[in-house]
A = this chain, B = another copy of it.
Amino acid sequence: MIIILKPDIDPDGSEVSQLLAYLKQFPDVKTKLSGIKGTSRVVSEIYLIGPTHNVPKDVLQSMPGVERVVRVSSKYRQIGKHGGQLDELGFEYNGIVFNQNSFHIFMGPCAVDTLENVETMMKHMAEYGIATARMGAYKPRTSPYDFQGHGKNCLPWVFELAGKYGIKVIAMEVLKEEHIEEIHNALQEAGNPTGVMLQIGTRNAQNFELLKAVGSQDIYPVLYKRGMGLTLEESLNACEYIASEGNRNIVFCLRGVKTRLGDPHRNLVDFAHVPVVKRLTRLPVCIDPTHSVGTKDLAPDGIYEIFHAASQGVVAGANMILIEFHPRPEEALCDGPQALTLQDMDHFIQDVSISRRAYKERRDLASRMSLTKMQS
């Protein structure tokens, strides 16, 4: 059950204390005060968790300060789309807005390798006005004998370069709680020249302790990648862990699922779930065509299959793309063969913008059609 408070109700004011006092008569029901920053106003909600079936909705609804009371299904309490709530869980971070209408391309190498490569990459991004990057300092590798990333040592110069080239947000995977601190300290020491979106990788999709760790801080937003062997429901449930700890600045990322039915792609591209996630939750949706497709095959129409997958996600409304580029893929320490080169960047950006424009046309068409139906 969620009590949505009227705009600008003071969380420390009398209305809220009156509500909390009333709710004390239901000892098994816990309450949690939660502030959502919408694009135009701050909305406070009180979450009631536990056996709420005896709590009378009508009584609550008539109490001072209450705008609406919503009984939520047990699923996706915090990230779900329940009737009567704010339409979306949008947020702004370091000057960049993320919600179900926004659109950003996060590009960069799989793993940070040399300073030179990182600088070359960022310089090119700056030329195209791209302020959102992806690059891993900590890499989870299937074999313990593979390159595991440079770890915290590379953070100072990565952040410095990001500041130099105007990168506002870097999506960076974390594998354990300590990594969050390391990133935080490095950013602080560098004077916060850029921002970081903490990425939860597919292998940690049900590492609930890590989810709680990123969820219990609210400085950095979280990019949650679907588990490659998990259903959408299982993944959204895991995502709910993050939100249940307090941090709802989450982007949900589709990255393909593992099944032999996806061959010859590395994973079976699951971007038909883009509109599903937008329907079931209030989260912005990201796609990762690089890891989904996993090869650099060129279709006979002269378009990389990675581009095709990206286009499929975007034309259905994706809000964010993670895409691997590398100045010298042949030297990359991780996933080189599937990385695009700097020569492909211009083509990719133009290709994506065709698809994004098509999506907007489709959305406008749907809105006109809906009007027509209502009028007829």
Whether A369 is near chain B, meaning CB under 8 Å from some CB there, is yes
Task: Please tell me if the beta carbons of B363 and A302 are within 8 angstroms of each other in the complex.
Answer: yes
Task: Please tell me if the beta carbons of B257 and A258 are within 8 angstroms of each other in the complex.
Answer: no
Task: Please tell me if the beta carbons of A237 and B365 are within 8 angstroms of each other in the complex.
Answer: no
Residue from B77, B297, B367 within 8 A of A145 (CB atoms):
B77
Task: Please tell me if the beta carbons of B347 and A309 are within 8 angstroms of each other in the complex.
Answer: no
24 interchain pairs, CB-CB under 8 A: A49-B145, A142-B238, A144-B208, A203-B208, A204-B206, A229-B230, A231-B260, A232-B263, A260-B260, A261-B268, A264-B276, A268-B272, A272-B293, A272-B305, A276-B299, A276-B305, A278-B299, A279-B298, A301-B362, A303-B317, A311-B362, A350-B369, A355-B362, A358-B358
Task: Please tell me if the beta carbons of A312 and B316 are within 8 angstroms of each other in the complex.
Answer: yes
Q: Whose C-beta in chain B lies nearest to the C-beta of A280? A: B264
A302 to B311, CA, bound (A): 20
Whether A191 is near chain B, meaning CB under 8 Å from some CB there, is no
Q: Which residues of chain B are within 8 angstroms of A241 by Cβ–Cβ distance?
A: 144
A233 to B265, CA, bound (A): 12
Give A residues with C-beta under 8 Å from B.
49, 74, 77, 81, 87, 100, 140-145, 175-177, 203-204, 206-210, 227-234, 237-238, 240-241, 244-245, 257-265, 268-276, 278-279, 292-293, 297-303, 305, 307-309, 311-313, 315-317, 343, 346-347, 350-351, 354-355, 357-358, 361-363, 365-367, 369-370, 373
A317 to B176, CA, bound (A): 37
Within the oligomer, what is the number of copies of this chain?
Answer: 4
Task: Please tell me if the beta carbons of A279 and B300 are within 8 angstroms of each other in the complex.
Answer: yes
Task: Please tell me if the beta carbons of B260 and A275 are within 8 angstroms of each other in the complex.
Answer: no
Q: Whose C-beta in chain B lies nearest to the C-beta of A316? A: B308
Least Cβ–Cβ distance between A34 and chain B, in angstroms: 14
A358 to B351, CA, bound (A): 9
Least Cβ–Cβ distance between A236 and chain B, in angstroms: 11
Q: Whose C-beta in chain B lies nearest to the C-beta of A76? A: B143
Task: Please tell me if the beta carbons of A229 and B258 are within 8 angstroms of each other in the complex.
Answer: yes
Residue from B74, B293, B351 within 8 A of A365 (CB atoms):
B351
Q: Which residues of chain B are within 8 angstroms of A362 by Cβ–Cβ distance?
A: 301, 303, 307, 311, 351, 354-355
Residue from B144, B208, B210, B350 within 8 A of A240 (CB atoms):
B144
Task: Please tell me if the beta carbons of A369 and B355 are within 8 angstroms of each other in the complex.
Answer: no
Residue from B245, B263, B315 within 8 A of A312 (CB atoms):
B315
